[in-house]
Structure 1
Amino acid sequence: MYEDALSTQHKLHTLILTGNPLAFMSYDAFSGLDSLVRLIMPQTAVTDLEDIPIAELQLDTLDVSSGSIHNLEGLAALNFKKMTALNLARNNIASLRASDLQAFRGTSGDVEVSFQSNNIISVERGVFGALRFRSLDFCGCFARADVSVVLKGLEGVATEKLNLGTFNDAPHRHIKTESLCSLCNTTVTHLSFERQRWEDLSNATFQCLGGLRALDMTEMSISHLPDNITTMGKLAQLTLDRNKFGNVCDVNAHNFPSLTSLSMQGIAEFTKGHCIFNDDCFQGLSQLEYLDLSHSTVHADGLCCERQLKGLGQLRLLNLSYNDAMRWGALPFAATPQLRHLDCSHLSVTLNSSAPFRNLALLQTLNLSRTSLSVTHPRLLEGLKSLVHLDLRGNPISEGVVSDPEIFKHVPDLESLILAECNLTGIGGNLFHALTKLTHADLSANHLAKLSTSAFFSLASIRLNYAHNLIELVDISSVQGLGPSSLVDLSFNPLTCNCSNIKFIDWVKANVDKLVHADETLCSGSHQKISDVTLHCYSVAGAVAFGVTMLVVALTIAAVSAFKKWKTYNRYTQL
């Protein structure tokens, strides 16, 4: 890349040179790039940062990942005044020395640096001392060295995020408690050990983690946490996804009194049996706002979930989706009246009450898709006066028809309703009239033979999804009322494209901007886009009227002619 190659590109902000085998770069190769802020050049043949002529550039992002860089001697040539992201991942950097990192001294501490997947062998002790970063990523760097090698080099560092995890295809090293001692001399807020392994997990393991606000221990083969951790009083976010917990209580959540977010999803992937959901597992987590137990074969003996959720009075989001069948008590969420979002999708539920949500007056999002609940029960939604989004997908309606407007009178603020895949064959004429704020209705993948829009309170601004139904003919009155910002999806219906449907076909041509997935809205049989259909149709009523008129005219002419002949004949007979 020779001098002045880009000298005319004064306004260029981002330059991407991915995969170019750059063997030579002139000192003036980037001259003229006065506005350049992002230089992206992974997978190049560059072996030394000094070979990249960027000293005069005011970059905020430099990506030289997936290359052959083997040392950091060229860092001194970088201008870190505006730098916020430096990606050195997947190179051949084996050692980190104090002299290499001098360039970071004096920076604002807003820089994200990734050493991901470099086979690091040695790090000078305290090499990162007194430096500040937003993020340091050493994920996948432990094929040839223990995590303690990196941590000793990090003594004295201050970083918001620190990643010490690994990848599925990388060698797993078991972390010893003694390897974490250097963390006592660091300032870290968010720490990740994702996919690593503990050799001797105990209370002492957490001795130097007391300053953390977030800890990620995803997929670490953990079956239980110690029961007497005394140092984690500040932890607000704990991620334990895809581990081997056999009981939710084995988390020993009381060790984390300041927790606001707990995620335990995906336990089912790593346990052969159930993850038992016992009572009072979350006692002491009075500040918890987010709880994710999805995909974990969570199983509750007896009725759920009032006692199991006891103590979670501030919970805002609860995800119970993709778990074992549950029998809900009369008021399953009595312990969590502050819920805003509840996801129970793919959870077979047996009710012990006709109004299980009546205490959730603040709930805004409810996902009950594929729960086998009777969505036609008039009291199912009782109490949900703040509900905005409701998903009832995949709950079969045995009779096929929903007509009782009482079902939705409890959710006056509803804006989005999903009734897809419910075996619907018909809907009542005023079914949704109580939903005055409804802007999205999904009735796709049912057995509806008619586009019924009279069931809605207003068509002024609404998105209707009737895709994958059995609609052949469309009454023009059902679409004429759609407002300027309204949309309708009729794709994958067996639409008739003959003169019996001509008014709808003409409407489509004039309003194609209101048709979602117009390219999939096809004629049955010919599979021609309905917007491309050309028909020559004549009105039967007009033809009949024309025929009657012509008959009257013919009869009149015949009568006049007969009268004239009679008159002439009568004159001659009188002679």
Structure 2
Amino acid sequence: MNNITLLAEIIVNVKNGDDWCCSDCFLRSVPDKLPSSVRTLDFSFNYLSSLYNTTFHRLNELVSLDLTRCGIAFIYDDIFQNQQKLEHLILTGNPIVFIADTAFSALINLKYLSMVQASVNKLTDIPIANLNNLEILDLSGNDIQSLKGLDNFYQERLKKLRLDKNSIEKIERDDLRALKDGMDISFKGNDIVSIEAGAFEALKFHSLDFSDCFNKVDISVILTGLRGVTTNILKLGVYKDSPKTFIQSLSLQNLSDVTVQEINFQLQHFKDLKTTTFEGLTNLERLDFTRTHMSFLNIHISSLIHLVLNENNFEDICNISMANFSDLTHLSIRGNLWSKGLTLQKSCLASLSLLERLDLSHSNLKTGASCCANQLSGLSNLKHLNLSYNFAMQWDPLPFNATPQLRLLDCSHLYFTLNSSAPFQNLLLLETLNLSYTSVDLSNLHLFEGLKKLRLLNLKGNIIQGGTVTETTFSAHFLNTPLLQNLILSACGITSIEKKAFQVLSQLVYADLSENELLLLTTSAFFSLKQIHLNFARNTIVTVEVRDVEDLGENSSIDLSHNPLACNCTNIQFINWVKANGRKMKHLEETVCAATKPKSIDYIISNTATHF
């Protein structure tokens, strides 16, 4: 089969003809039928053993070119002489043996160059001299053993340099002298053996990543080399398959000589953290201890405002000395792994008076006989609270009385027992409430009292008694939420919706009623169809009355995908409407007829004469 025939059969042309995908098409050259106007070309997983200056000579409008795993071994002179507009070039996974000095000389606008797993052995092998606009260079997964030649990479606009998973063992001061301020540089996954003391001194970075670099060396060696550096982010974590090592406090003493705002220690093991271990980090604002196998924490960092303790083994939140973090505004203890649950006692968080965001989700919280007024005492500035996916709770009459500033409350998959009919009445500023899969009783007409500023309400998975969204019940609910813009009632077992059930919601712009059991589409329940997005996907709707869709405004849409729609004369008016208003239909290709061999509505439209 020749390339032209293959092109006609396999190549997918998307968007307006400027973006082409020829991936994995067994091609050995660029097909002549490919238009010269192409801007984005995915040519990955084909075969081009060599790149010549004639390979892409016609494609002078190229902006992005993906040549992943094309078996490229030789890259000759001036191969991109006609591609001066090229901004993204991906050469990942090619067994490159030779690159000519002028191979990239014409790429004056190149911003992103990926040579991941491209058999690069030396930095000096990469002809980077003319790439003055390069912003990101990814050399991960090669066999680079030395940083000699890094001084060639002094590109004024270079922002990110990735040297992950190479064979770099030594870093010396002279190797780094050309690096400019504000860069992201990653040495992740290299088996570092030594860093010259002070090699990074006086250098300034946005991010430094030494994750998983501790197979042959103690972390103290890395930190000695980093003495005097300034960086916003410092990553010192490991991965699941990394060798297990224990960090001692003594190994961290040189951290005080690093100026850093954020440190990530994910998956590390700490042997003897002391109160004073991090005291010298006077500029540290964010500390990430995700899955560091902790069961207690008693360190002091006065400047810290963001603490991440996800996936650890705390038995009690009081085992974390919160008084040492009095300036904290963000605290995450998500996914705690202690098998018996995480105890949240009275006043354990009381010292965090500045806290604004608290995530206790997925932690099997144990809150005692009642929750949560005492447990959240002192958190008067809290704005975001996530309690989702936890053990069942017995709520106080006003469970969030201590947190009147809440803007977001997530209780998804949390079973709670109410001790009052209006548990949220003091949350006058709440804008987002997620009660999905909570088995909340929606017949309680006082449930949403006080929520005058609510914008988003998620009730997914709460079964509505009798299956009917009644005007009486839901109008009463929504009188309490006059500013509601987004309403989610998917998977609620809804079989019918009474007329005017949502009429009081004059601000509503999105309603999700998918995954229910509706037989008929009804839009008369809504205040207006001029600017609204309706999701009725995955119901059992067969017939659509055209009057239910014809008033949808130009900025409105409806999703009827995955319904067993009848594509016959009973729906001819609706099908004709779709023909004229297809842009208002979401997921049109998945909106199919209920037939032995389902066909999409847009297929029926294009073949209307043969079907009616």
Task: Please give the TM-score of this superposition, normalised by the length of structure 2.
Answer: 0.84
Q: Tell whether the 8 Å contact from 2:561 to 2:590 is kept in structure 1 after alignment.
A: yes
For 1:10 and 1:446, locate their aligned partners in 2 and report how far apart those are by CA, in whole Å: 54
Q: Tell whether the 8 Å contact from 2:495 to 2:518 is kept in structure 1 after alignment.
A: yes
For 1:60 and 1:529, locate their aligned partners in 2 and report how far apart those are by CA, in whole Å: 44
- Residue type of the alignment partner of 2:591: T
**How far does residue 80 in structure 1 lie from its aligned partner after superposition?**
3.7
Residues 328-381 of structure 1 deviation map (CA, whole Å, 9 limit, x = unaligned): 111111111111111100001111111111111111111000011012322111
SS in 2 for 1:203: coil
Q: 1:535 to 1:350 in 2, by over 3 A?
A: farther
- Residue type of the alignment partner of 2:165: R
- Hey, what does 1:147 align to over in structure 2? 219
- Hey, what does 1:49 align to over in structure 2? 123
Matched, 1:60 2:127: no
Matched, 1:30 2:109: no
1:181-330 map, 5 Å: 181-226=253-298, 229=299, 231-267=300-336, 270-330=337-397
Q: Which runs of 5+ in 2 are unaligned?
A: 1-74
**How far does residue 36 in structure 1 lie from its aligned partner after superposition?**
2.1
- Indicate which of 129, 151, 167 corresponds to 2:201: 129
SS in 1 for 2:277: helix
For 2:387 and 2:542, locate their aligned partners in 1 and report how far apart those are by CA, in whole Å: 40
Identity of aligned residues (%): 46
**How far does residue 271 in structure 1 lie from its aligned partner after superposition?**
1.6
1:424-443 map, 5 Å: 424-443=494-513
Provide the alpha-carbon RMSD of the alignment.
Answer: 1.6
Runs of 4+ in 1 over 6 A off after TM superposition: 535-538
Residues 71-115 of structure 1 deviation map (CA, whole Å, 9 limit, x = unaligned): 0011122224222111111100011111211222xx2x2111100
Residues 133-192 of structure 1 deviation map (CA, whole Å, 9 limit, x = unaligned): 111100010011110010000111111110010111111210000001111111111011
Q: Tell whether the 8 Å contact from 1:385 to 1:410 is kept in structure 2 after alignment.
A: yes
1:159-198 map, 5 Å: 159-198=231-270
- Indicate which of 45, 58, 73 corresponds to 2:148: 73
For 1:449 and 1:78, locate their aligned partners in 2 and report how far apart those are by CA, in whole Å: 64
Q: Tell whether the 8 Å contact from 1:41 to 1:65 is kept in structure 2 after alignment.
A: yes
Q: How many residues align?
A: 530
- Hey, what does 1:448 align to over in structure 2? 518
- Indicate which of 186, 205, 217 corresponds to 1:114: 186
For 1:95 and 1:80, locate their aligned partners in 2 and report how far apart those are by CA, in whole Å: 23
For 1:143 and 1:292, locate their aligned partners in 2 and report how far apart those are by CA, in whole Å: 33
**How far does residue 484 in structure 1 lie from its aligned partner after superposition?**
1.7
SS in 2 for 1:508: helix
SS in 2 for 1:204: coil
Looking at CA atoms only, which structure, 1 or 2, has the larger radius of gyration? Answer: 1
- Residue type of the alignment partner of 1:77: N
Q: Which runs of 5+ in 1 are unaligned?
A: 539-575
For 2:423 and 2:82, locate their aligned partners in 1 and report how far apart those are by CA, in whole Å: 68
- Residue type of the alignment partner of 1:514: K
Greater share of residues in helix: 1
- Residue type of the alignment partner of 2:345: N
- Residue type of the alignment partner of 1:454: S
- Residue type of the alignment partner of 1:396: I
For 2:609 and 2:422, locate their aligned partners in 1 and report how far apart those are by CA, in whole Å: 53
SS in 1 for 2:307: strand
Q: Tell whether the 8 Å contact from 2:259 to 2:281 is kept in structure 1 after alignment.
A: no
**How far does residue 60 in structure 1 lie from its aligned partner after superposition?**
2.2
For 2:410 and 2:362, locate their aligned partners in 1 and report how far apart those are by CA, in whole Å: 12
- Hey, what does 2:462 align to over in structure 1? 395
- Residue type of the alignment partner of 2:250: E
Q: 1:278 to 1:30 in 2, by over 3 A?
A: same
SS in 2 for 1:3: coil
For 1:442 and 1:50, locate their aligned partners in 2 and report how far apart those are by CA, in whole Å: 56
Q: Tell whether the 8 Å contact from 2:490 to 2:516 is kept in structure 1 after alignment.
A: yes
- Residue type of the alignment partner of 2:135: D
**How far does residue 535 in structure 1 lie from its aligned partner after superposition?**
7.4
Q: Tell whether the 8 Å contact from 1:358 to 1:383 is kept in structure 2 after alignment.
A: yes
Q: 1:464 to 1:125 in 2, by over 3 A?
A: same
- Indicate which of 128, 151, 167 corresponds to 1:92: 167
Matched, 1:382 2:454: no
- Residue type of the alignment partner of 1:49: L
Q: 1:24 to 1:299 in 2, by over 3 A?
A: same
Residues 289-321 of structure 1 deviation map (CA, whole Å, 9 limit, x = unaligned): 110001100111111111111111111110000
For 1:537 and 1:120, locate their aligned partners in 2 and report how far apart those are by CA, in whole Å: 69
Q: Tell whether the 8 Å contact from 1:375 to 1:392 is kept in structure 2 after alignment.
A: no
Q: Tell whether the 8 Å contact from 2:253 to 2:277 is kept in structure 1 after alignment.
A: no
Q: Tell whether the 8 Å contact from 2:206 to 2:232 is kept in structure 1 after alignment.
A: yes
Q: 1:73 to 1:353 in 2, by over 3 A?
A: same
**How far does residue 536 in structure 1 lie from its aligned partner after superposition?**
9.3
- Indicate which of 404, 409, 418 corresponds to 1:342: 409
Q: 1:524 to 1:15 in 2, by over 3 A?
A: closer
Q: 1:470 to 1:182 in 2, by over 3 A?
A: same
User: Which 10-residue stretch deviates more, 20-29 or 238-247?
Assistant: 20-29
User: Which 10-residue stretch deviates more, 403-412 or 473-482?
Assistant: 473-482
For 1:4 and 1:84, locate their aligned partners in 2 and report how far apart those are by CA, in whole Å: 25
- Hey, what does 1:510 align to over in structure 2? 580
SS in 2 for 1:390: strand
Q: Tell whether the 8 Å contact from 1:499 to 1:537 is kept in structure 2 after alignment.
A: no
- Residue type of the alignment partner of 2:566: T
For 1:462 and 1:389, locate their aligned partners in 2 and report how far apart those are by CA, in whole Å: 14
**How far does residue 512 in structure 1 lie from its aligned partner after superposition?**
2.2
For 2:130 and 2:579, locate their aligned partners in 1 and report how far apart those are by CA, in whole Å: 57
User: Which 10-residue stretch deviates more, 236-245 or 4-13?
Assistant: 4-13
For 2:550 and 2:100, locate their aligned partners in 1 and report how far apart those are by CA, in whole Å: 66
- Indicate which of 461, 468, 476 corresponds to 2:538: 468
**How far does residue 483 in structure 1 lie from its aligned partner after superposition?**
1.4
- Residue type of the alignment partner of 2:223: L
Q: Tell whether the 8 Å contact from 1:93 to 1:120 is kept in structure 2 after alignment.
A: yes
- Indicate which of 79, 83, 91 corresponds to 1:17: 91
- Residue type of the alignment partner of 2:91: L
**How far does residue 523 in structure 1 lie from its aligned partner after superposition?**
2.1
For 1:89 and 1:296, locate their aligned partners in 2 and report how far apart those are by CA, in whole Å: 33
Q: Tell whether the 8 Å contact from 1:183 to 1:208 is kept in structure 2 after alignment.
A: yes
User: Which 10-residue stretch deviates more, 2-11 or 254-263?
Assistant: 2-11
SS in 2 for 1:291: strand
- Hey, what does 2:600 align to over in structure 1? 529
Q: Tell whether the 8 Å contact from 2:269 to 2:293 is kept in structure 1 after alignment.
A: yes
For 1:148 and 1:436, locate their aligned partners in 2 and report how far apart those are by CA, in whole Å: 62
SS in 1 for 2:276: helix
**How far does residue 537 in structure 1 lie from its aligned partner after superposition?**
11
For 2:153 and 2:565, locate their aligned partners in 1 and report how far apart those are by CA, in whole Å: 64
SS in 2 for 1:73: coil
User: Which 10-residue stretch deviates more, 163-172 or 20-29?
Assistant: 20-29
For 1:24 and 1:434, locate their aligned partners in 2 and report how far apart those are by CA, in whole Å: 70
Residues 242-287 of structure 1 deviation map (CA, whole Å, 9 limit, x = unaligned): 00011122122111001010000011xx221111111111111111
